Amino acid sequence: MPMLFVDLDNTISDRASSFRRWADKYLLDRYGSADGELIDAMTIADGDGLRNKPDVAADLAELLDLSPAERVEIIAVLRAGTLDELRPVPGITEALDAARAAGFEPFIVTNGRPSQQQAKVARLGLADHVAGMVVSETVGVKKPDPEIFRIAARQAGGSLAGGWMIGDSAQADICGAIAAGLGSVWLRRGRAYPAGLPEPTYLADSFVEAVGLVLEWTPIVQ
């Protein structure tokens, strides 16, 4: 059974929206109002959850005029808040089930903290729709290192042959997939694909579309 590796954040979960909901609520609780420009600045500081957390904390401390004690706690507050604001995305579980019905083994491969990522899977009810999950901090290797895909395949009792990766990060997901010899689908999320990087097999505007492209195995049209 070929593997269908999937990223978690902003692929089968909408972390970007949950972050903005948390930021809005945080500002309302702190200042009594939520300024859109400040939320935009907080979003940039967060960097889709991919930036080094000390850098995020430093930037948020400046933007929000945090006290030293608040600065120490802001990343924990951010993580808890984005988790609380996480909502299921319609069609995700159905697409995972369709991939499994077509003969693929869906498996989450994600960078991040095990406790946070496991909590997201539980909150969204994804566990019954995937064969498992590998989190970078647990196995000591992170995307784009192709070894993380080999580890995931071994855990699933499969191999990389005929496998695919769907994700929103060109650097982590697509470069990692190509290095592992996998087909790949990059989720645009309103962005252009970064110049100079190896190109994915497909581009898609949603996870549901991405799964459909994998199942069709049609040449990419741009």
Give the pLDDT confidence score for residue 149 in this predicted structure.
Answer: 98
Q: What is the mean pLDDT of residues 19-35?
A: 96
Give the pLDDT confidence score for residue 218 in this predicted structure.
Answer: 46
Q: What is the mean pLDDT of residues 178-204?
A: 97
Q: Given a cut of 70, is residue 91 above it in pLDDT?
A: yes
Give the pLDDT confidence score for residue 136 in this predicted structure.
Answer: 96
Q: Which residue has the higher pLDDT, 1 or 145?
A: 145
Q: Given a cut of 50, is residue 220 above it in pLDDT?
A: no
Q: pTM score, two decimals?
A: 0.92
Give the pLDDT confidence score for residue 46 in this predicted structure.
Answer: 97
The helix-helix angle for 114-124 and 68-84 (nearest 10°) equals 30
Taking the CA atoms of residue 141, residue 18, residue 115 and residue 99 in that order, the dihedral angle to the nearest 10 degrees is -60
Beta bridge partners of residue 96, listed in sequence order: none
Residue-wise pLDDT for 138-178, tens only, equals: 999 999 999 999 999 999 999 999 999 999 999 999 999 99
165 and 185 Cβ atoms separated by less than 8 Å: yes
Give the pLDDT confidence score for residue 175 in this predicted structure.
Answer: 98
Q: Which residue has the higher pLDDT, 218 or 76?
A: 76
Give the pLDDT confidence score for residue 1 in this predicted structure.
Answer: 84
Give the pLDDT confidence score for residue 221 in this predicted structure.
Answer: 37
